Amino acid sequence: MPAELDHLEFYRLPWNYADNGISWLEPTTDCNLRCEGCYRDPHGHGHKTLEDVRADLEVFKKLRKSDCMSIAGGDPLVYPQIVELVKMINEMGWKPVINTNGLALKEPLLKELKKAGVFGFTFHIDTSQKRPKVTATTETELNELRLHYAKMLAQEGGIACSFNATISDKTMHEIPNMVRWSEKYADIVHTMVFILYRSPNLTGDFDFFANGNKIEFDGTYKETNWGGEQMLMAPDIVEKIREGDPMYEPCAYLNGTANPNSLKWLLANRIVLNKETLGYVSPKFMELVQTLTHMFTGKYLAYAQPKSVSKGKLASFFAGFVDKEMRRIFSKIMRRTIANPINLFRSAYIQSFMIIQPVNFESDGRQDMCDSCPDITVHDGKLVWSCRLEEMNNYGAFVQTIPKRA
């Protein structure tokens, strides 16, 4: 049975359409890898000019405050001017975070990107991909590849490291291994993101309309064997995470546009000392972080610097003055230090888990999107959901769903 979750027990992230932790930029549709169920057209417009990308950034500057700019696509590392783009984003006041499969990342390019001001990388690695020279066939076996990229960033120093994996009902049983693996490397693996595969039974018994006209919609989001048959929801993943870490407890969320108690983005942060999880930060702690960051910087926090996430001891100490859960974690840190004094010189790392639950259709045809979506992008000078960009490209509008008549 899926885990029982009450959204009212968590902190609803204060992000909104115009003031958000993240924005989403797509300089190219080109990619050097194809993932099962990818909804980007491989025959799309290709590379935008740097001037066109700057125009998109100016739209963000005018309409939306963000801490980070996620650079995506396609794969942004095949964009010919990626170094110049990272520098531009940094100079315009965002943290540049590159979303990539990692295939094109070599040490010389990494050094150039760091010099240009790259803040972090989110590597998309999962079994939906057919990678050259990679024989791994399970998510557990792919942890070796994930570690390769984490060590590459750690060697360069000062770069945030995240991994995301699309999860289907065929791969969700491997989540506990991924959770245990990341605990061992909390010093260099800062975030793990589980993105739920959205295609199984998505279209259901609906008719589809765009600009008032009925359309055939079955080719936009393709079903695949890899995607399985069950459409997953956030509680399904929570149950699996708890198999790998029974202490797991979320602290913050974003709800849906149609269903207020849906958990479209579900965030948890654990504190790890010497490869041991001591607890998860509380909703009150996350509220404190978001409120203070916005108060002093004018932006909500999305990605933290590696040196910041190594301050779990300090965070639990100061937050403990106002929150009993953080006091409990700090007490554990002190007991571990008394038992083994060398822990006094070890860092306690704050490691994040994110579950992203994509669009689903309510029985009445309403589409439950991520309310206050962080992955908003620019299309023709307007802000739109990036996960539904193909609808705009194909039909000039978002598609509407109407239940079929009996």
Q: State the DSSP string of 243-301.
A: HH-TT----EEE-BSS-TT--SEEEEEEEEETTEEEEE--HHHHHHHHHHHHHHHSS--
Spatial separation of the C-alpha atoms in residues 75 and 105, rounded to whole Å: 11
- Identify the residue with better confidence: 365 or 316: 316
Mean pLDDT for the chain overall: 93
pLDDT, position 84: 98
The fold of 15-301+350-403 is TIM Barrel (3.20.20)
The answer to whether the CB of 3 falls within 8 A of the CB of 232 is: no
pLDDT digit string, tens, across residues 246-268: 999 999 999 999 999 999 999 99
Work out the average pLDDT over 15-30.
96
pLDDT band (50, 70, 90) for residue 235: very high
pLDDT, position 404: 85
| 40 beta partners | none
Spatial separation of the C-alpha atoms in residues 137 and 299, rounded to whole Å: 41
Region class of 307: left (phi > 0), else alpha (psi between -120 and 50), else beta: alpha
Sequence-ordered list of residues with C-beta below 8 angstroms from that of 236, at least 6 positions apart, any chain: 2, 3, 172, 196
Q: How many CB atoms lie within 10 A of CB 128?
A: 22
- Give me the amino acid identity at 28: T
Sequence-ordered list of residues with C-beta below 8 angstroms from that of 229, at least 6 positions apart, any chain: 169, 200, 201
- Identify the residue with better confidence: 320 or 40: 320
The answer to whether the CB of 140 falls within 8 A of the CB of 177 is: yes
Dihedral sign for Cα atoms in the order 359, 362, 364, 366? negative
pLDDT band (50, 70, 90) for residue 361: confident
Spatial separation of the C-alpha atoms in residues 149 and 190, rounded to whole Å: 12
- Give me the amino acid identity at 246: P
pLDDT, position 284: 96
Q: Which H helix or E strand runs over 349? A: strand 348-356
- Give me the amino acid identity at 206: F
Q: Is the pLDDT assigned to residue 397 strictly greater than 70? A: yes
Length of the chain, in residues: 406
Burial status of residue 261 (CB atoms within 10 A of its CB: 0-12, 13-18, 19 or more): exposed
The answer to whether the CB of 207 falls within 8 A of the CB of 142 is: no
Helix axes 175-184, 234-244, angle to 10 degrees: 50
pLDDT digit string, tens, across residues 134-159: 999 999 999 999 999 999 999 999 99
pLDDT, position 220: 58
Work out the average pLDDT over 50-71.
97
pLDDT band (50, 70, 90) for residue 198: confident
Spatial separation of the C-alpha atoms in residues 197 and 188, rounded to whole Å: 27
Q: Is the pLDDT assigned to residue 207 strictly greater than 90? A: no
Work out the average pLDDT over 275-284.
97
Q: Is the pLDDT assigned to residue 362 strictly greater than 90? A: no
DSSP state letter for 113: H
Single out the residue of 35, 264, 213 nearest to residue 127, CA to CA. Answer: 35
pTM value? 0.95
pLDDT, position 393: 87
Which of 256-265, 301-310, 354-363 shows the lowest per-residue confidence on average (mean pLDDT)?
Answer: 354-363
Phi, psi of 68 (to 5 degrees): -120, 150
pLDDT, position 42: 66
Spatial separation of the C-alpha atoms in residues 211 and 198, rounded to whole Å: 24
Q: Is the pLDDT assigned to residue 55 strictly greater than 80? A: yes
Q: Which two tokens stand for residue 337?
A: 């230090």
Work out the average pLDDT over 329-338.
97
pLDDT, position 346: 97
| 351 beta partners | 270
- Give me the amino acid identity at 62: K
